Structures are given as C-alpha cells and as structure tokens.
Amino acid sequence: MKRIEDSGSFSSFANADRISLIALLVANIIPLFIVAVGQWEVRSVMILYWIENVIIGIWTIARIAAAGIGRVPAKEHLAKIMVIPFFVVHYFGFCLGHLMFMVFLFRDQGGLGSELEGVAQPQWFVAGMDVRLPVLLLFVSHGISFYRHGILDGECQRAEPVLEMFRPYIRVVLLHVCLMAGAAFIVANNSPKPALILLMVGKTAMDIVIHLFMHGRSRGAIPKTRG
C-alpha cells in the first residue's frame, strides 16, 4: 500500500494532507458564510456542530470495523462484535446528553424546536439556506479524512479497535467544551453576530490543529501481519 512517509516536519505533512484539509475548510466556511449573510443564529450553528458529532460517530464505527484488517488474523476481528455496540451506546448516549444541555442552554431563546424541525423537514440550500448542504459537506469532509488517512495512509490497518473507540472523544470533548462556553457567552449577550462569527472561526482553527495533530502523530510503518 502506497503511503506518504513521515518527514517529521509540520509543513511537509500539511502539503501531503492538502486534500482533507481543503475539505475540512470548505465544510466549515459554508456555515460561516450562512451566518455572515444573516440566515442563521447561534442555535442553528450549535445544532449543526452537534450533528457533526453524530457524523464523527458514524465514521468512527467505520474506523473500528476497518481496524487491523490485513494485519491481524481474521479471528481477532470477532472482538469488534462487542466493541462496536458498546461504542454506539456510549458515544451516542454522550451525544444525547450534549443535546439535552443545548436544550437547557437555549430554553430562554425559544428552544431548539424550529432548528430540529428544519433538520427533519429541510428545504434546499438555495431556497432557505438550511442545514442540509452543510451537513452533507461535513459528512463528505470526514469521509475524505477516513479514506485519505484511515485507508490510504494505513491508520486503520495499524489501529486497535478498542483504542479507536476512544479516538473521537479527544476532539469532541476539547472542542465542544469551548464551543458551549462560547455559545453561553453569546446567548448571555443577546447573540451578537460578530461574536458568533469569531466563535466559528475559532472552531475552524481548532479543527485544523486537532486534525493535523491526530493524523500527524499516527503516521508510521504498518506492523507486519500476525499469525
């Protein structure tokens, strides 16, 4: 399997990682544009970022399923039968708790009813600038990252299913603690647009840093097959 070798430098990795970085930037810039033209407020943005957590969970299931393929004997993959359901219950339970916290946060702002209804019955982007296109872009962005790093770079082949199960929490906890704190500040100050845009720019910057850190540190030679 062809892989780009780790040169040990940040710049060389950034060049090799250009495709997934561009996808990440596009997926973050489109929501920023929607906010800038006045179509969304803080509630809509936080719903989108919550949906991104769900998307991350879906692609994490794919990483767990692909972990160790081509490296470990087939019988060792049977452990995934237990790991994947445990991850689904634990991670998506975490996402549900996150959603309940947002319901509490926005209780005095009309709740989340209109945004959640928009997810269930969306209009097209050009008609209502709703959540469907941004969600699609986020799904594709994380899919490109999965294929680019997980498959082509051999991250999944080197990975252990149990360790992959905890992988998304690094990003989700770090990033969303900051997001929720920022959202609470914005709500408390009557939702000023400049503050929301600044929060989204900060989220995008943190996304890039976390992306480079997680994929940069995982590069290396693929161990030989056992058994």
Residue with tokens 């910057």: 205
pLDDT, mean over the chain: 77
pLDDT in the model for residue 157: 86
Could you give the CA distance from residue 7 to residue 143 in angstroms, rounded to a whole number? 25
Answer whether 34's CB lies under 8 Å from 40's CB: yes
Could you give the CA distance from residue 102 to residue 115 in angstroms, rounded to a whole number? 12
pLDDT in the model for residue 75: 65
**pTM of the complete model:** 0.78
HSE-up of residue 22 (Cα within 13 Å, Cβ side):
6
Could you give the CA distance from residue 178 to residue 183 in angstroms, rounded to a whole number? 9
Helices and strands per DSSP (H, E), number in the chain: 10, 0
pLDDT in the model for residue 221: 43
Written as six digits, the tokens of 6 are 């780790």
* Domain-wise residue ranges, the chain: 10-216
pLDDT in the model for residue 181: 84
pLDDT in the model for residue 143: 95
pLDDT in the model for residue 171: 83
H/E element holding 65? Answer: helix 42-66
Could you give the CA distance from residue 42 to residue 191 in angstroms, rounded to a whole number? 7
End-to-end CA distance of the chain: 20
pLDDT < 50 stretches in the chain: 1-16, 114-115, 117-129, 220-227
| pLDDT tens figures, 98-120 | 888 877 777 665 555 544 544 44
Residue with tokens 């995982």: 218
pLDDT in the model for residue 173: 83
